[in-house]
Chains A and B, each alone.
Chain A
Amino acid sequence: MLGAMNEAPARVKLALAVSLATFAVMLVAGPVLGQDGSGGDTGVSLFQAILVGLGYYLSNSPWLVGNGAFFGIYRPLVAGFLVGIILGDPVEGAKIGAAINILYLGFISAGGSIPADPSVAGWVGTALAMGGGLDANSAIALGVAVGTLGTFVFFTRMSVDATFAHWADARAEEGDIGGVARMNVIPPQIFLFIISFIPATVAVYLGAPVVENAINWLGTNAPWVLHGLQIAGGILPAIGIAMNMKFIFRGSVIPYFFLGYIMAVASGGGLNILMIGIIGVALSFLHVTLLGNGSGPSGRQAAGGGAATSVGTTASAEGM
């Protein structure tokens, strides 16, 4: 981890070079492809692609909407809806975003790492699916592919941003309070804008016609591939759910998973997720009240208790 600090300056130059090159390619390629009629005539104009890229950048940074970023526009459900507004069909956008989001239901970012990038799957994935004319179920597989590639943005940013922590150190040595605050915001946000906005915009603008052509070709020559994508839409959500189960499917609460499953299957959709959630709240009160807390999903409890005790010792030693 600390190695990133030493490599950061070189990484900054590399990342800047890559971004500038991407930008140059976009400037040249955009108009050229546009003349061929293969860019911009699929319902995704350059302006719309820029809005999608902007949304993707904002979703990675809470400065505009606070909790509405990571818990809001970072989620494909919301991102898809907004892409739908940008592309002129909010209902279809919300459907596609919702389908893609199923895969990221269990998305947990912990300890400075992400297993995938739901946001790029939501923003770019939905835009490509709508531009290419894919239905919601098939869009899941496309979203997965884009979302996996998108982790590149996160890891680049995590490496390079360490540099700005040192810039903040330098401001602190000057006693410059405002400078420390600015170093936390301005340089990392400019960098994030470059590495998130540009690739997303380019991917949407140039990618939509490619996706559309690919779908058309497959529809005539190998329709089973499109069926395969739809089937994947039913299989892949198991991964999203299992990722969440990794955190909570343990200890004395395991039986409740099966209870929830049986409630949903047996009621045949008669109990929706909100009703089942309310039953769940009731049962969790019962469980905690009747059985105590001894044996829940206890992976971190031992560590928590230990740390709390040691802090408590420190506190009492200091006569608080």
Chain B
Amino acid sequence: MATDKPPVELTRGDVMGAFWRWTFFSHSNYNYERLQGTAFAHMMTPVIRRLYTDPEEIKAALRRHLVFFNTEPNVGSVIHGAVIAMEEQRANGADIDDDGINSVKSGLMGPLAGVGDTITQGTIIPILLSIGIGMAQAGNILGPILYFVLMMIIMTGLTYFMFIQGYTRGRTGVTEILRSGLMDRVITGAGVLGNIVLGALTAQFVAIYIAPSIYINELRFNFQETLDDVMPGLVPLLFTILTWWLLAKKGVNPILLLVVYLLIALVGAVPFFGPAGQCGSSIFNAFYACPPPEASSFLVR
């Protein structure tokens, strides 16, 4: 490659232009064939425009970045920064061929998708959402607003940080980060936090109330009260673990599970304990007033 040309340097505007193009158009043309491929090329357009003047080089650069690409768009933007740095070096005569750039993209996009999804969709977003949901359910419209503002600050800041880290450290820097075990520690740490919050969310949002009571003479045994004596909230906990086991270990389709759970809820609402139409309860809901039981009766209501 021509080493006699004057060096071309990207301006801050070029790099930021690439960053904002990625932020706003990463999933504009999301598709089964290339996933974020065209978005990556779109992101590179200010860089290509600055670095290359020869039409053949421009075509080659566009082709190079239109290939299949898919990663987590926020944490994964470290790849974009590194690739921009590589293109800049290449345009200035460094010995970097298409394979070198492709191997960085395809080599990093998988691991960073895993790391990124765990950190953003798996931890940050559920935590922020649960704070917002908790407030909104109490009728406070600051819930969605606070969620949106916090999310924008954290996610945009995170994306910018990763993007610029990638650009300033280059691919060696990114590789070092991946090899140093820092990412493993981040994932483990995110796993601790994520699990604690999920556990708390289970307690807050999963609600099952087993309504019927058994009467033996005048002694009343209510299922829910008996279970609460064992441990309050035992049923939702076991039920959530069961759901996880079905989804993760048994590979049950979540949509099928949705339908089944909806049917369980509906069946659980049918009032078939006690005289129909007068009083009684269903499995999950006590909604008809019942008179006190007669002596020596064995009833389930």
Q: Please determine whether chains A and B interact with each other in the same assembly.
A: yes
CB distance from B229 to the nearest CB of A (A): 14
Closest chain A residue to B36 by CB distance? A112
With contact pairs A77-B147, A224-B282, A288-B188 given, residues A112 and B131 touching in the complex (Cβ less than 8 Å): no
Contact A180 B38 (CB under 8 A): yes
Say yes or no: is A229 at the interface (Cβ < 8 Å to chain B).
Answer: yes
Contact B41 A244 (CB under 8 A): no
Say yes or no: is A80 at the interface (Cβ < 8 Å to chain B).
Answer: yes
Contact A110 B191 (CB under 8 A): no
Closest chain B residue to A136 by CB distance? B137
- On chain A, the residues within 8 Å of B140 by CB distance are 94
Residue from B143, B175, B200, B237 with most neighbouring chain A CB atoms (10 Å): B200
A90-B145 Cα distance, complex, nearest whole Å: 11
Binds A, one of B3-11, B116-124, B219-227: B116-124
Cβ-neighbour of B196 out of A81, A235, A260 (below 8 A): A260
- On chain A, the residues within 8 Å of B132 by CB distance are 77, 98
Residue from A177, A250, A271, A293 with most neighbouring chain B CB atoms (10 Å): A177
- On chain A, the residues within 8 Å of B212 by CB distance are none
B interface residues, tally (CB under 8 Å): 136
Interface string of A190-218 (1 = CB under 8 A from B): 00000000000000000000000000000
Closest chain A residue to B35 by CB distance? A112
Say yes or no: is B297 at the interface (Cβ < 8 Å to chain A).
Answer: no
With contact pairs A162-B32, A284-B189 given, residues A231 and B265 touching in the complex (Cβ less than 8 Å): yes
Interface string of B46-71 (1 = CB under 8 A from A): 00110000011011001100100010
- On chain B, the residues within 8 Å of A43 by CB distance are none
Contact B199 A239 (CB under 8 A): no
Contact A256 B38 (CB under 8 A): no
A interface residues, tally (CB under 8 Å): 142
Cβ-neighbour of B243 out of A185, A242, A284 (below 8 A): A242
Contact B264 A235 (CB under 8 A): yes
Contact A272 B113 (CB under 8 A): no
Contact A246 B244 (CB under 8 A): yes
Say yes or no: is A17 at the interface (Cβ < 8 Å to chain B).
Answer: no
A157-B16 Cα distance, complex, nearest whole Å: 29
Binds B, one of A28-36, A46-54, A164-172: A164-172
Contact B175 A280 (CB under 8 A): no
With contact pairs A62-B28, A293-B185 given, residues A232 and B200 touching in the complex (Cβ less than 8 Å): no
- On chain A, the residues within 8 Å of B21 by CB distance are 181
Interface string of A278-320 (1 = CB under 8 A from B): 0111011101100011011111110111011111101100111
A63-B199 Cα distance, complex, nearest whole Å: 35
Contact B147 A181 (CB under 8 A): no
- On chain A, the residues within 8 Å of B240 by CB distance are 238, 241-242, 245
- On chain B, the residues within 8 Å of A162 by CB distance are 31-34
- On chain B, the residues within 8 Å of A184 by CB distance are 25, 28-29, 38-39, 41-42
Say yes or no: is B194 at the interface (Cβ < 8 Å to chain A).
Answer: yes
Contact B117 A229 (CB under 8 A): no
Which residues 77-117 of B have a CB within 8 angstroms of A? Answer: 95-96, 100, 103-104, 107-108, 110-111, 113-115, 117
Cβ-neighbour of A91 out of B26, B139, B145 (below 8 A): B139
Which residues 79-109 of A have a CB within 8 angstroms of B? Answer: 80-81, 90-91, 94-95, 97-99, 101-102, 105-109
* Secondary structure of the B contact surface, majority rule: helix
Say yes or no: is B214 at the interface (Cβ < 8 Å to chain A).
Answer: no
CB distance from A318 to the nearest CB of B (A): 6
Closest chain B residue to A90 by CB distance? B141
A160-B74 Cα distance, complex, nearest whole Å: 25
Which residues 264-281 of B have a CB within 8 angstroms of A? Answer: 264-271
Contact B103 A276 (CB under 8 A): no
- On chain B, the residues within 8 Å of A159 by CB distance are 31-32
CB distance from B13 to the nearest CB of A (A): 16
With contact pairs A67-B74, A184-B39, A238-B206 given, residues A161 and B136 touching in the complex (Cβ less than 8 Å): no
Interface string of A212-236 (1 = CB under 8 A from B): 0000000000001101111111111
Contact B63 A106 (CB under 8 A): no
Closest chain B residue to A185 by CB distance? B28
Interface string of B247-279 (1 = CB under 8 A from A): 110000011011001101111111100000000
Contact A71 B137 (CB under 8 A): no
Between-chain CB contacts (< 8 Å), 26 pairs: A71-B120, A80-B136, A81-B141, A102-B133, A108-B122, A112-B35, A148-B258, A161-B29, A177-B45, A184-B29, A184-B39, A188-B31, A228-B267, A235-B264, A239-B254, A239-B258, A258-B199, A259-B195, A259-B196, A293-B181, A293-B187, A296-B187, A304-B110, A304-B183, A308-B111, A312-B179
Task: List 13 additional A-B contacts (Cβ < 8 Å) besides A61-B28, A180-B62.
Answer: A94-B144, A102-B133, A144-B258, A175-B59, A234-B205, A241-B206, A246-B247, A257-B198, A261-B199, A284-B191, A288-B192, A298-B184, A307-B107
3 closest cross-chain pairs (CB), A and B: A260-B199, A296-B188, A300-B114
Could you tell me which B residues sit within 8 Å of A by CB distance?
20-21, 23-35, 37-39, 41-42, 45, 48-49, 55-56, 58-59, 62-63, 66, 70, 74, 95-96, 100, 103-104, 107-108, 110-111, 113-115, 117-118, 120-123, 125-127, 129-134, 136-137, 139-141, 143-145, 147-148, 151-152, 155-156, 159, 170-172, 175, 178-179, 181, 183-185, 187-209, 232-233, 236-237, 239-240, 243-244, 246-248, 254-255, 257-258, 261-262, 264-271, 282, 284-285, 287
